[in-house]
Chain A
Amino acid sequence: MKVLFFAQSRQATGCVDYTLKTDRPLSQAEFWASLLDSFPNLTAHQKSARLARNENYLLGDELLQPGDEIAVIPPVSGG
């Protein structure tokens, strides 16, 4: 599962992307637990960040599939 980081999430992790190794679908809670284990500095951003799967915001408790591209989206501020 490829994970993309932008803005504050990129600053917190120090990288633009990361491969989260999993061979089974993950709940969003499992996803965050695994991510925070690798990037503890992301903890401060978890509450405010949204997740997008394959360029669509997650709306419910959808499972994340191993082949998905997940973006960690901090509060947006364009315009």
Chain B
Amino acid sequence: MQIEIILTHEPIAHPQTWSVPSSPETGSLVEFYGIVRETEGIEKIPALHYEAYASMAEKVIREKIALLEMKYPCQAIRIVHRLGLIPKGESAIYVGLQSKHRREGFLFLQEFMEEFKKDVPIWKLT
């Protein structure tokens, strides 16, 4: 499986340009953009600040991918997480999955995000 993990202080482009060319066998691209909402709890906010323990974050992400890949074989994954100040309405995370069929892509993405939010050492601060 091709893996791209990018932690960046730059805005997340929409659409994303993959550095990995699609396999001729790729029949599905499932994408998720996580966007900073205008409200955090009951509070209206102009932006969120994200910080990471970057080296461990990448390590944990790779561990999660290795486990999920056994359940839902996919061909490529691209993860971009923005750090620093992110204004409301802009993306904090992008995850894209290329797979042969849509089912494994959707399932992988859903479980990956659950695991990501549980264990990847990245924090948002208001």
| Chain A interface (Cβ < 8 Å from any Cβ of B) | 4, 6-8, 11, 52, 55-57, 71, 73-74, 76-79
| Chain B interface (Cβ < 8 Å from any Cβ of A) | 34, 50-53, 55-57, 59, 81, 92-93, 113, 116-125
Complex Cα distance A71/B59, Å? 14
Complex Cα distance A77/B119, Å? 9
Complex Cα distance A62/B82, Å? 34
**Chain B residue with Cβ nearest A52:** B56
Measured between beta carbons, the chain A residues less than 8 angstroms from B119 are 57, 76
Known: A6-B123, A55-B59. A78 touches B53 (CB 8 A): no
**Chain A residue with Cβ nearest B93:** A79
**Chain A residue with Cβ nearest B83:** A78
**Chain B residue with Cβ nearest A54:** B56
Q: Are B51 and A76 in contact (CB under 8 A)?
A: no
Shortest Cβ-Cβ A-B pairs, 6 listed: A78-B122, A7-B123, A55-B56, A77-B124, A79-B117, A79-B93
Q: Are A78 and B57 in contact (CB under 8 A)?
A: yes
Complex Cα distance A78/B123, Å? 5
Measured between beta carbons, the chain B residues less than 8 angstroms from A76 are 117-123
Measured between beta carbons, the chain A residues less than 8 angstroms from B56 are 52, 55, 71
**Chain B residue with Cβ nearest A7:** B123
Measured between beta carbons, the chain B residues less than 8 angstroms from A78 are 50, 52, 57, 81, 92-93, 116-117, 120-124
Measured between beta carbons, the chain B residues less than 8 angstroms from A74 are 123
From residue B56, how far is it (CB to closest CB) to chain A in Å?
Answer: 4
**Chain A residue with Cβ nearest B59:** A55
Measured between beta carbons, the chain B residues less than 8 angstroms from A77 are 117, 122-124
Q: Are B53 and A71 in contact (CB under 8 A)?
A: yes
Known: A7-B51, A71-B56, A79-B93. A52 touches B121 (CB 8 A): yes
Measured between beta carbons, the chain A residues less than 8 angstroms from B93 are 78-79
From residue B52, how far is it (CB to closest CB) to chain A in Å?
Answer: 7
